[in-house]
Amino acid sequence: MTTRVVIVGGGTAGWMTASYLKRALKENVEVTLVESSHIKTVGVGEATFSTLKLFFDFLGLKESDWMPSCNGTYKLAIRYENWSSKGGHFYHPFQRFETIQGFNTGEWWLKLKRNELPFDQACFTIPAMCEAKRSPKFLDDTVFDEGVSAYFDPKAPPPNNVIAHHMVQYPYGYHFDASLLADFLMNYGTKLGARRIVDDVLEVGQRENGFISHVLTKQNGRVEGDLFIDCTGFRGLLINQTLKEPFIAFNDVLPNDSAVALQPPWDVEANGIRPYTTATALSAGWAWTIPLYHRNGNGYVYCSRYLSKEEAEKELRAFIGPAAEGCTANHIKMRVGRNHNSWVKNCVAIGLSSGFVEPLESTGIFFIQHGIEELVNHFPEGADTSDGQRLSYNKVINNCIDGVKQFLILHYRASDRADTPYWKATKTELSIPPDLEERLKIWRARLPGHRNIYPSFHGFEAYSWAVISMGVNYVPENHLALLDLLDPEPAKKAFAALQERSQRLVSTLPSHHEYLKHMRAR
């Protein structure tokens, strides 16, 4: 039985959904996407998780197929600047700890290296690669991390291509122009058989039981379906406006509710391309710098209680410098939080219409990918959707978003920066989930580990919680006492080998710009 799926809203969320459903379910779904030519997409989703490679692997697309079309670049890490009272910077890399005698390098750092070398530089190779603007791949397309080379072999299919089956850490994510990616996937999805309607939705029809029956468009009339996907962004046209599903705001714990974005030029030939996103703490929030192939994406995420939109734009322009002159600012009001449920009756919200927790850790597109994969995992047979399917889907989605929420709270609450009213308020005026408050007490005594972080899947592993804690100067007072009973020499040798490997990679890998030029030339 063929299920008629109607997606309302285009952009990255809409066309990722359409492409994935057609690829996964083929002739079992009839996909129609309705998008307006008058509604702009929100361009804050230009940086991603490393798991996005799984999405393209599933579609059968290589990086050389889509990255040049979308001005794509690689992302090895997020560089945090001025997030603690010490100033300076640290990296949150896509890289797990190494293990020595049953304990990870983070634990050994507390005992051996805390007064010698910054945490990120001591425990990972990626920070050195970022500092030198290195590519994650050699010119023969070999990935720098030998441990995951099988997943990047162009001559073999990837061992898996969905998040639920993913057991390794890919060493990089991506940056790209989100509008160009939407256009690319629109062409890809329509070739797979998705039907595109460019029209305005005038009203949403419902059956007697409250299920959605159709959307009425201005030029094309009624578009009927069995399952409706809401990709209308912060508006939530189907899930909130029509079905009246409550939205749970996170402003009590995540105060940033506004953003202003600019797109200044960047001379890649003269300056190269950074292989990382930068998040720089400012007076009432933080500024992002996302390097694309042809320009930088810059923006300021802030709390409107402490800064007006005019003040925020002025501060952002001063932060960017002369390159911001002549650039038009795009002001965005963010809806931070999630729906009580993202699957209600026969409507599934994906993307910003489902939930959003500000772009600090580049989770927007991850939420889209996760929502799509779980939709396929829970896909109804024909027009029938059981209460159990919806309950299961909503539990998975809600747990994921709530976990990311707690991870983001850590960045602000654990930071010892308190030099402006905003940064003081992050310690004194914001509420905190009781279980996270308990964890923060634990992390004063020991490093975050897999047994004491947020337990449900949310995309972040224990090493990420540890990196942020150490980076914002929330450091355990002591190391594990058990390490005093072990011979420290293997750990010292491991740290030395890690530094040696970092320098070898810096000296042998091509620059980020050089590799991308090589890809484009082919």
Average pLDDT of the residues in 193-201: 97
pLDDT tens column, 247-304: 999 999 999 999 999 999 888 888 999 999 999 999 999 999 999 998 899 999 999 9
C-alpha dist (Å) from residue 432 to 250, 251, 306, 447: 11, 11, 20, 20
Q: Give backbone dihedrals phi and psi of 29, rounded to 5 degrees, phi first.
A: -130, 145
CA–CA dist 313, 259 (Å, integer): 9
Q: For residue 92, list its beta bridge partners.
A: 78
Residues contacting 45, CB < 8 A, separation 6+: 12, 178, 359, 362, 364, 365
Q: What is the 3-state secondary structure (H, E, C) of 92-148?
A: EECCCCCEECCEEHHHHHHHHCCCCCCHHHHHCCHHHHHHCCECCECCCCCECCHHH
What pLDDT is recorded for position 166?
84
Residue scoring higher pLDDT (45 or 210): 210
Q: For residue 249, list its beta bridge partners.
A: 337
| 3-state secondary structure (DSSP) of residue 32 | strand
pLDDT tens column, 454-493: 999 999 999 999 999 999 999 999 999 999 999 999 999 9
DSSP 241: I
CA–CA dist 96, 500 (Å, integer): 18
Q: Write down the catalytic residue from 53, 75, 113, 405.
A: 75
Smallest CA-to-CA distance from 363 within 16, 14, 47, 15 is with: 47
Within its chain, how far is the Cα of 159 from the centroid?
A: 23
Kindly state the percentage of the chain with pLDDT values over 70.
Answer: 98
Report angle CA 97, 100, 101 to the nearest 5 degrees. Answer: 140
Answer whether 56's CB lies under 8 Å from 185's CB.
no
Answer whether 480's CB lies under 8 Å from 114's CB.
no
Q: Give backbone dihedrals phi and psi of 6, rounded to 5 degrees, phi first.
A: -115, 120
Q: Report domain extents, the chain.
A: 1-42+179-248+341-385
CA–CA dist 278, 284 (Å, integer): 17
Identify the band that residue 223 occupies on the pLDDT scale cut at 50, 70 and 90. Answer: very high
Q: Give backbone dihedrals phi and psi of 7, rounded to 5 degrees, phi first.
A: -100, 125
Query: What's the mean pLDDT when you consider all of the chain?
Result: 95
Identify the band that residue 154 occupies on the pLDDT scale cut at 50, 70 and 90. Answer: confident
Confirm whether 75 is a catalytic residue. yes
Average pLDDT of the residues in 347-352: 97
CATH class (in words) of the domain with range 1-42+179-248+341-385? alpha beta
Answer whether 56's CB lies under 8 Å from 46's CB.
no
Q: What are 140's two structure tokens?
A: 């023969």
Q: At residue 43, does pLDDT exceed 80?
A: no
What pLDDT is recorded for position 44?
47
